[in-house]
């Protein structure tokens, strides 16, 4: 069974450009989470989808970040325009269903974003 | 106050040592807890879930103290391969969904 996959694994862009990160969760997992780790800091929650609905986007830093989950399958996270402080590793994770309180979240390998 | 707090370390220990990490959480409604391990430049991976009665998996023991709102991870007979960052993860039940919050992680370095 395929795990959580993220694309690209690395991205280097210039300040002001746009970047779109993609996450394919484990098939059948309703819950999809986006997290970010900025160098030297903790992993911070960005947002959570349940199927195609944004359940919680309280961690999104500002309106330069837009996340979507088309048809409840894969998700994209777009940063437009990118700023230097957006650099970090963006992780995606998935969990099965709404009764997932005690279940493991599976993580993708992350996308390392560098804004120069 | 942060929702999940951990001592960032680093903990530098010799092989064979026993080391313990603590993690405190602020939301008393939290019901599920996990320890994840993250190796350098890799994604977090589940090490073990933490059960109310405490649980053990080989050299690793996890404990939960609900009254004091902390969880712990004990590693016995440390191996070089245990060197990693250990992340305390708390599941916070929300209305209709569950939210996972991470601690900052505790770095462990095991040396020969």
Q: What is the pLDDT of residue B72?
A: 96
pLDDT at A98 over 70: no
Percent of chain B with pLDDT over 90: 79
Mean pLDDT of the residues in chain B: 93
Instruction: List residues in chain B touching A: CB distance below 8 A.
Output: 31-32, 34, 42-46, 49, 87, 89, 91, 93-94, 96-105
CB atoms A95 and B98 under 8 Å: yes
Which among A87, A86, A91, A88 is positioned nearest to A109, based on CA atoms?
Answer: A91
CB atoms B44 and A108 under 8 Å: no
Compute the average pLDDT of residues B65-86. 96
Choose, out of A29, A43, A94, the residue to mutate when testing the contact with B (most B CBs < 10 Å): A43
Please state whether the peptide bond connecting residue A31 to the residue before it is cis, i.e. omega within 30 degrees of 0: no
Asked if A105 is an interface residue toward chain B (Cβ–Cβ < 8 A), one would say: yes
Report the distance separating Cα B77 and Cα A71, nearest Å: 48
CB atoms A93 and B94 under 8 Å: no
Structure tokens at B51: 């059960």
Q: What is the pLDDT of residue B60?
A: 97
Checking B41-50 for CB contacts under 8 A at 24+ apart, the result is B42/A109, B43/A91, B43/A107, B43/A108, B43/A109, B43/A110, B44/A43, B44/A91, B44/A107, B44/B87, B44/B89, B44/B102, B45/A107, B46/A104, B46/A105, B47/B73, B47/B86, B48/B73, B49/A102, B49/A104
Q: What is the pLDDT of residue B96?
A: 81
Quick: pLDDT tens for B10-53.
999 999 999 999 999 999 999 899 999 999 889 999 999 998 88
Nearest to A98 among B87, B97, B101 (CB): B97
Choose, out of B7, B33, B88, B98, the residue to mutate when testing the contact with A (most A CBs < 10 Å): B98
| pLDDT tier for residue A99 given thresholds of 50, 70 and 90 | low
CB atoms A101 and B98 under 8 Å: yes
pLDDT at B69 over 70: yes
Mean pLDDT of the residues in chain A: 93
| pLDDT tier for residue A72 given thresholds of 50, 70 and 90 | confident
Compute the average pLDDT of residues B94-105. 88
């Amino acid at each position: 069974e395929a795990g959580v996959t993220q694309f690209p694994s690395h991205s280097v862009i210039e300040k002001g450009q746009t970047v779109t990160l993609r996450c394919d969760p484990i098939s059948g997992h309703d819950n999809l989470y986006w997290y970010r780790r900025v160098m030297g800091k903790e992993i911070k929650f960005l947002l959570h989808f349940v199927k195609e609905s944004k359940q919680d986007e309280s961690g999104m830093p500002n309106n330069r970040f837009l996340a979507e989950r088309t048809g409840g399958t894969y998700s994209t996270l777009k940063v437009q325009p990118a700023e230097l402080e957006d650099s970090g590793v963006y992780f995606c994770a998935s969990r099965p269903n709404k009764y997932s309180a005690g279940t493991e979240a599976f993580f993708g390998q992350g996308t390392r974003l560098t804004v120069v | 106050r942060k929702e999940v707090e951990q001592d960032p370390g680093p903990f530098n220990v010799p092989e064979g040592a026993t080391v313990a990490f603590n993690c405190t959480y602020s939301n008393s409604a939290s019901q599920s807890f996990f320890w994840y391990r993250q190796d350098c430049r890799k994604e977090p991976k589940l090490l073990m879930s933490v059960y109310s009665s405490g649980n053990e998996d080989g050299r690793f023991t996890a404990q939960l103290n609900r009254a004091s709102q902390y969880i712990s991870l004990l590693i016995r007979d440390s191996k070089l391969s245990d060197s990693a960052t250990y992340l305390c993860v708390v599941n916070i039940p929300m209305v209709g969904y569950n939210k996972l919050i991470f601690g900052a992680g505790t770095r462990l370095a095991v040396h020969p």
